[in-house]
Amino acid sequence: MKLVVQVKLLPTPEQAAALEATLHACNVAASWVSEVAFARGEFKNFALRKHTYDTVKSRWSLG
């Protein structure tokens, strides 16, 4: 069973800035992972993760 919940965020200005920074980092990291995927010709989740996870975690503080 899938449950979908819609919520409205009402962040403080500090929280909004942190959220925006996190979303920006996610987008930049996803673009980089896409570049790696195409350069290596590797599109399967776990194989690609082996090449990118540590870098994404350290470079963009995600993970």
13-17, long-range: CB < 8 A, 24+ apart: none
Residue with tokens 């540590």: 54
Q: What is the reported pLDDT for 63?
A: 77
Using CA atoms, how far apart are residues 29 and 35, in angstroms rounded to an integer?
10
Contacts of 55 (CB under 8 A, 6+ apart): 32
Whole-model pTM over 0.85: no
pLDDT 10s digits, 1-25: 999 999 999 999 999 999 999 999 9
Q: Cβ(53)–Cβ(63) under 8 Å?
A: yes
What are the boundaries of each domain within the chain? 24-60
Average pLDDT across the chain, whole number? 95
Q: What is the DSSP letter of 60?
A: S
